[in-house]
Amino acid sequence: MKRLPISLLVILCLTLGLAPFVPEPHLWQKLKMLAGGTLTRPVDIFDLMLHGFPFVLLALRLLARDSKAVR
């Protein structure tokens, strides 16, 4: 995990995480569906995982960096 450059993860978040940009990002759409209780189709769940994965990786990478600084 520590080998992944933060800049690469930010680029992944901005491209895959927010694609498509118009009319609204898939991640935002799927999060609204999740909050509304309508995220039930397997393809929608897969979409949420696919577009959310870069953000999870970035969060884990930042947490790994911060835990190293605490030691």
Tell me the domain boundaries of the chain: 6-70
Q: State the alpha helices, DSSP H only, in 2-41.
A: 6-12, 26-36
Cα–Cα dist 29/15, whole Å: 16
Cα–Cα dist 54/9, whole Å: 6
pLDDT in tens, 29-57: 999 999 999 999 999 999 999 999 999 99
pLDDT greater than 70 at residue 69:
no
Residue 6: CB partners within 8 Å, gap ≥ 6?
58, 61, 62, 65
The pTM is what? Answer: 0.81
pLDDT greater than 80 at residue 11:
yes
Contact 16, 50 (CB under 8 A): yes
